[in-house]
Structure 1
Amino acid sequence: MIVQIYTAQSADEAVALAERGVDHVGLTPTTVGLPGQISEAVAAEAVAALRGRARSVALSVETELAEIARMAAAVRPDILHLCGEIGAVTPDDVRELRGMLPAGMEIMQAIAVGAEDDIAMAREYAQVADYLILDSYTTDVQGVGAAGVTHDWSRSAEIVASVDIPVILAGGLSAENVAESIAAVRPWGVDSLTLTNRPLGDGRFEKDLDAVAAFVAGATAVAAV
């Protein structure tokens, strides 16, 4: 079971996550006001620090392909996570974008579970992406994800069963519910952001490394059964 944790805000924090068994470390290199956002320079430092320890994932909520490709070239993550507004970057766009990215960089496409035609969209994106991430959606945060709430896992299970690429389940997951979510959905991986944070006030946070370790333990224990 792959464990993905968002969002590291420094190279040291990224390494600390990897040391606690995280397979994919998420980074948020943007200036649009997303939770835990960092500069591209800091994100690139984290990517470099993670090499040989864990895979790096950098998200984008942008819609202009040239801007997405520019960020990807600057940060150089292993995986580019596309999580802009629903349908803003189409499957055809993703196909075009792949040719604009550094060689070997993979693409993870976010699917807003519960949105209209979510299963059909997942099937379409599965033809052009390397991974899907099934997430919750709220208008409080730009793009798909970072909602901190669960969605209909039975819907996610339908998506997992209907596509042939790896699927990561996200949305309100914590050490307390990750085992249940895995049993319900049978994803390839699980993701946590909000519920593995330690709030610092004024909307700021750092990763709660104990909560992360518990999340990893919960996810891997189920996978071992």
Structure 2
Amino acid sequence: MQNLIQVAGIKDRREAQMLLKIGVDWLGFPFRLPVHKEDISEAAAAAIIASLEPPHAGVLITYLADPREILQLCQKLGTGKVQLHGEIALSQLHQLKEIAPQLFVIKSLIVKPGNFAHLRSQVKQFGSLVDAFITDTHDPRTGADGATGKTHDWSVSRRLVAISSRPIILAGGLNPANVRSAILQVRPAGVDVHTGVEDASGRKDARKAAAFVAEARAAFTLAGSSEWASR
């Protein structure tokens, strides 16, 4: 599979179909969130995920940390991929892999000023228990981790890419205007966008999404990025 493009915050089937048609790979569905409201019902998300055919996939994005709750929600949605966006203990990840060894796990790395040493430690600690990492932005004003519409220090993400044994997805404030430079600087295995391809009403805009995909694909080609290894 070519380098990954994920769009998060899908609101309905029509939006999902539009994104797939223009070349998006994975669709992200945030649930059980401490800050943001959910975009769609769990039943509607499950219906969209059930309609997807490989290599397309739906990804649960959640702040849940209890392994059994994570697995139960994945089963309810019918997805084998989860993005863990909140704090989770090493012991909890061990347990999750024990009860769901085939689950594709993406662990967030939230970039804040001066926390590279902490993120480097997480990459080393969690690397054997996850399938990928995703770097994202913390907004101190709202307390949100992700879906902030704000970029972070890309040099931190670049350094994490250099030391990680797992693929790293870049997120945080990406949009059609900056995704090319972000990829060329960071050299991630994939990119994730949420608010950067939305219109004023908060819905995904087809022109913005198409421009984002085109810019991302062009940048991956220029960067000579290796293909995303997915299962």
Question: Do both proteins adopt the same fold according to a TM-score greater than 0.5, normalized to the shorter chain?
Answer: yes
Greater mean alpha carbon deviation, residues 6-15 or residues 190-199: 6-15
Query: Equivalent of 1:54, from 47, 56, 67?
Result: 56
Distance 1:5 1:114, change over 3 A: same
d(CA) in 2 for partners of 1:157, 1:35: 31
Q: Report the equivalent of 1:128.
A: 129
Find runs of 4+ consecutive structure 1 residues off by over 6 angstroms: none
Alpha-carbon distance, 1:35 to partner: 4.6
CA distance in 2, matches of 1:152, 1:146: 16
Q: Against the structure 1 CA distance between its residues 222 and 2, is the aligned structure 2 distance closer, same or farther, given a 3 Å change threshold?
A: same
Shift in CA distance, 60/141, structure 1 to aligned 2, threshold 3 Å: farther
Q: Residue in 1 aligned with 2:12?
A: 10
Matching residue's letter, 1:100: I
- Identify if the C-alpha distance between structure 1 residues 78 and 46 changes in structure 2 by more than 3 Å, giving closer, same or farther: same
Contact 2:152 2:172 in 1 (8 A): yes
Paired residue type of 2:112: G
Secondary structure of 2:45's aligned partner = helix
Amino acid at match of 1:44: A
Q: What is the CA deviation profile of residues 21-79 of structure 1, one whole-angstrom value per residue up to 9, with x for unaligned ones?
A: 00111112337552553221111111112224612111111232222221111012231
Write the mapping of 1:99-178 to structure 2, written as runs, cut at 5 A.
Answer: 99-101=98-100, 104-114=102-112, 116=115, 117-139=118-140, 144-178=145-179
Q: Distance in 1 between matches of 2:102 and 2:19?
A: 24
Q: Does 1:224 align with 2:221?
A: yes
Question: What TM-score, normalized to structure 1?
Answer: 0.88
Partner secondary structure for residue 175 of structure 2:
coil
CA distance in 2, matches of 1:220, 1:179: 8
How many residues end up aligned between the 2 structures?
A: 217
TM-score, normalised on structure 2?
Answer: 0.86
* Structure 1: tracts of 5 or more residues without a match: none
Percent identity, aligned pairs only, is: 29
